[in-house]
Amino acid sequence: MYKRVVTVKRLKEANEGEEEFLTEVSTIGKLNHMNLIKLWGYCAEGKHRMLVYEFMDNGSLAQHIRSNTLDWRKRIDIALGTAKGLAYTYEECLEWILHCDVKLQNILLDSNYQPKVSDFGLSNLRNRKDSKFSSFSKIQ
């Protein structure tokens, strides 16, 4: 029997329909990048929603940002890793996945303080071919 430590996130209440939730979970579940948290499973029953993620030994960046555990080299590596993870969702995926909630609590750190972007719950999926999003990333 294989034992695995996981993180389970219980969502307060479904804010979207079943089909939209399953589409988002499916899309995010297919992401594979070293700087993105891995979604291992989910539960969707009625209005109840639970997400099962890989466990991050060192918690969130928010827990360490003011501590002495992060020297400048680690901080730079965390910033670069976070940027690489977010760039992957925007540049390399068939659909744009805009995170919309990047904050210290959503940057998780593994046992080696390597960052993984998490909590795509407020993300927006956008089809690259849709003409109304052709200027979506431009600052106006």
What six digits make up the tokens of 45? 């029953």
Closest CA to 108 of 40, 43, 59, 46: 59
CB 96 within 8 A of CB 132: no
Burial class (CB in 10 A: 0-12, 13-18, 19+), 72: exposed
Q: Residues with Cβ < 8 Å from 66, sequence gap 6 or more?
A: none
Q: Which residues are catalytic?
A: 101
C-alpha to C-alpha distance for 72 and 66, rounded to whole angstroms: 12
Q: How far, in Å, CA of 29 to CA of 104, rounded?
A: 22
